[in-house]
Structures are given as C-alpha cells and as structure tokens.
Structure 1
C-alpha cells in the first residue's frame, strides 16, 4: 500500500481522491442536518420544541467547527507542485465558503429560537383575539427562519458537491479545478515560513 506524502510534524497530505471524498462526505453530513431540521407544516409541527432546536444547534455548530478545522489543516499542507498547490487552494476555498453558508444557517436558527421563546411567552398569556393573532405572527416568523436555515444547509451541501465535481473534472496539466463561475478568487499570497517561539 502506498501511503500519501506527509507534511511537517507528521500531518498527512490528502490525495486528490481523499479530498474529493472529504467534500462529498461533508456535503452528505450537511444534507442530513438539513433533513433533521424541524418540520414547519401542520402535520409535523415540532418547530417550537426547544430540546429539538438545541440538538439542531449542536449539529450545525459541530459542522462549523469540523469544517473550519479541515480548512485550517488543508491550508497548512505544503504545495510541492503548482498543481497540488492549486488543488489545495480550491479545497480550502470550498471548505471556508461552506462555513460561511453554515454560519447563515446558524444565524437563522438563532433567530428561530428567539421567536420560539416569544411564542412560549404568548402561549402563557390569557386567551384573547389579540394574543391569538400575536401567536400566529410569532409562529410564522419562527417557521420562516427554520425554512431559511434548512435552505442554507442544502445550499452549503450542494456547493460542496459542485466543488468536489470540479476536482474530478480538472483536466491534466490544468493546475487544479477552475474557480466557480461567477466567483472571483484572488491570487493566493505566499505564506511566510513558520517561526518557533520559545
């Protein structure tokens, strides 16, 4: 079995196939997180369950931490050739872009939790037409934020799949995949040599 080359301090480099598998695996995890988001229709309405929302926050936070760490690790990989350097650059770009989209999903989920608290407060008030109207409005805002969070999760997963496809379709000698259409990727600056402090 041929082992991939290793970066300094024993950090293994990902081969192209490993990198593609990494992006696809992360996309699958993100899509699963989207499917686990609470339903907002009348038949499966658990969108105001704080225990459920707590689990979804943990899911997204875990993905953000994991993908950010993967991007940082990839960014430390030395590029021994221009093609390897560019492929790593595009993988880092794909991972960090996914984190940005996941952050928007987290922001939507956080807003949904705030609306959930308001909904619980309104439910404890004496029944009246005004209270019922306020509850309906809070429920609508809550469901809207949850649906936006789900959309952003699917968006992040879909983009990672496209990024993985770009890695598979890069022609030989092209120095890695091309930047996504409509996206302007600036030249990657040279990284200074690491310094040790005592």
Structure 2
C-alpha cells in the first residue's frame, strides 16, 4: 500500500483509499470466482485434479486475511471522512486534539491493513512452497492441466493524481 504518510490532504487519502479498496475487493472476487470455476470443473470430471484443487485452496486460505485488510480500510474511510469534516471546522484546541486523535486512528487502520496484506502475502508464499516442490521434482515434459488455474484478474484501479 503506498500510504507513506497519512497526513497528506484528506481528499488525496480518500482517492487512494478508494483505489486500494477496489484492488482488494477485486482480488477477493477473483479468488472466489477461481474457486467456483475450479469446483465446477472438478464436479464435472470423474477424477478431481489435485494440482488445481491445491492451488485454489492456497488462494482461498488468504481470503479471510484479505477481508480483514478490507475491513481496516473501510474503517479508515470513516476516519478520513471525519478528518474532512474536522478540517472544515473552526480551529480550536479541542478541534486540534480531535483532529490528532482521528489522524492517529486513521494511521492505525492503515497500518492494520498493511499488516493483513503482508500476512495474506506470507500465507500465499507458504502455500506456494507446498504446491511447487511436487511440480519441480518432475524433470520430464509436463502435460498441460485439463482445468485452467483461474480467470485473469481485472486490471487494478488506476491511481488518481490531482
């Protein structure tokens, strides 16, 4: 996540939040679609393809962590909206304190989302290590799988600039 400093302009953060929420939601949709596609393929065949099943299972194990990242980003949107409201209020000591508390809450949610995204990435790497060695040991020509891995993901949301 490219949030290097949550203290930039609130509207810039909202644009970036919008992009990241779309990216993560799109990834969850992609994984869910791949799992459904693989399930349809497996139920239509006499013998299930263990390789495809293993790859899809590895992907689906990361969805819960991606969902937690999405939940953190959703809460961050609420905090960014509060900051936008506070920016429009008269300056006072109480307003400055409220703004600082809200910025801290926003930072915490963004950091939580980062942690969950790193955890999802780690989960996928661990799962990939369990799947890859079985394929790496075979030195002969590899027969193509009868079931595709998954549909291509949609392009990530473009990053907005102002």
TM-score when normalising by structure 1 = 0.60
- Structure 1's 47 and 147: CA in aligned 2 closer, same or farther, altered over 3 A? farther
Q: Give the CA deviation at 1:88.
A: 3.5
- Residue 152 of structure 1 corresponds to which residue in structure 2? 116
Check whether the contact 1:94–1:163 (CA below 8 A) recurs between aligned residues. yes
Residue 133, structure 1, aligned to residue 97, structure 2: yes
Paired positions, count? 133
- Per mean C-alpha deviation after superposition, the further-off stretch among 140-149 and 46-55 is 46-55
Decide whether the 8 Å contact of 1:125 with 1:131 is kept in 2: yes
Residues 77 and 88 in structure 1, CA contact (< 8 A), matched pair in contact too: no
For 1:18, the equivalent position in structure 2 comes to none
CA shift, 1:47, in A, is: 6.5
Does residue 91 of structure 2 align to residue 106 of structure 1?
A: no
For 1:116, the equivalent position in structure 2 comes to: 80
- Alignment of 1:40 with 2:5, yes or no, is yes
SS at match of 1:102: helix
Q: CA deviation at 1:93?
A: 2.2
* 1:165 lines up with 2:129 in the alignment: yes
C-alpha change, 1:156 and 1:77, in structure 2 (3 Å) is same
Tell me the secondary structure at the aligned position of residue 77 of structure 1.
Answer: helix
Per-residue CA distance 1:20-44 (angstroms, 9 max, x = gap): xxxxxxxxxxxxxx3x3x12366xx
Work out which of the residue numbers 31, 55, 61 in structure 1 matches 2:25.
Answer: 61
Q: Which runs of 5+ in 1 are unaligned?
A: 1-33, 173-198
| Structure 2 residue runs without a partner (length 5+) | 138-162
- CA 1:96–1:154 in 2, change beyond 3 Å: closer, same or farther? same
Query: Greater helix share, 1 or 2?
Result: 2
Runs of 4+ off more than 3 Å: 45-48, 79-82
Instruction: State the shift of 1:162 in Å.
Output: 1.2
How far apart, CA to CA, are the structure 1 residues paired with 2:129 and 2:97?
A: 48
Shift of 1:90: 2.9
Q: Quick one: distance in 2 between partners of 1:76 and 1:40? A: 44
Are residue 50 (structure 1) and residue 14 (structure 2) matched?
A: yes
Cα displacement (A) at 1:122: 1.1
